[in-house]
Amino acid sequence: MTSGNTGAGKANRFPWVLVVSTLVSLAILVSLGNWQVRRLAWKEGLLATIDQRIHAEAVPLSEALTMMRSGEDIEYLPVSLGGTFLPDTEQHVLSTWKGASGWNVYQPLRLDDGEILFVNRGFVPYDRKDPATRPDSRPEGEQTITGLARLPLDDKPGFLVPENDPVKNEYYWKDLAAMTAAAELDGETIVPLFVDAGPQADPSKLPIGGITNIDLPNNHLQYVVTWYGLAAALLAVSGVFLWRRLRQP
């Protein structure tokens, strides 16, 4: 008889463990949803800024550098510059363009003031990496370039990205220091900036310019729905369970 009463007491005890664990899990899910809401607002603001910036008039490189040194964000800012490409110094970054694999050609440009800036001249197909296969792509003399300012990366963007191989002239991420060393430019003044060149006057010529990817993924809305949806589902299931438990005689 005593054993039966003890079992009934345990069965009717309020499920505090369930309530506490549900509240903790609910708080975590809602916090993740709130974080994604903030990320969504940030990404939408970033996309709007990029869209506005890439359609603006190009500014001289010197003005862009002054803005950068004063702490302003110049990513994707249209810039204009002039100089002479250094021969036999191409650096090749693995890339894709319209579904085809290939390379983005980064080549150092000696500016009018003597400094060096690496220009992403554009895309070439995978089997046209060797400049000898595209002799018409070798620029000679003074060049005038309009393109988008891009900031170099401080480090490899993720552990899944392969290591760069400067010896084979194969890069998987934009490592300015490695490109500088491979092009034998140590001791030169290197501008801490890349410029993605715009399209060439003849679009059939290599490299294909104007290939900057500005279609950044924005999946934060679906993450918001996911986290808030899980929170709502958890609340509903726990509420039904607790309601049935409290209705037990």
Backbone angles phi, psi at 121, to 5 degrees: -75, -20
Residue type, 83: G
Q: Between vectors from CA 221 to CA 218 and to CA 223, what angle results, nearest 5°?
A: 100
Res 227: pLDDT? 82
Alpha-carbon span 179 to 172, nearest angstrom: 12
Q: Which residues contact 88 (CB under 8 A, 6 or more apart)?
A: 131
Match 């800012």 to its residue by tokens: 77
- Within the chain, where are the H helices? 2-12, 16-54, 61-69, 176-182, 220-247
Tokens representing residue 52 in the block: 């506005």
Q: Which residues contact 123 (CB under 8 A, 6 or more apart)?
A: 95, 97, 102, 103, 104, 105, 207, 208, 211
Res 5: pLDDT? 54
Alpha-carbon span 235 to 26, nearest angstrom: 7
Per residue in 184-214, pLDDT tens? 998 899 999 999 998 877 777 889 888 777 7
Alpha-carbon span 116 to 184, nearest angstrom: 12
Look at 95 and 220; give whichever has higher pLDDT. Answer: 95
Among 29-38, 130-139, 213-222, the least confident range: 213-222
Alpha-carbon span 59 to 79, nearest angstrom: 5
Alpha-carbon span 223 to 229, nearest angstrom: 9
Look at 72 and 248; give whichever has higher pLDDT. Answer: 72
User: What is the sign of the dihedral through the CA atoms of 92, 94, 96 and 102?
Assistant: positive
232: exposed, middle or buried (C-beta count within 10 Å: 0-12, 13-18, 19+)? middle
Residue 171 binned pLDDT confidence (cut-offs 50, 70, 90): very high
Q: 148: which DSSP letter?
A: E
Does 77 have pLDDT greater than 80? yes
Among 47-51, 173-177, 230-234, the least confident range: 47-51
Residue type, 216: L
Res 84: pLDDT? 93
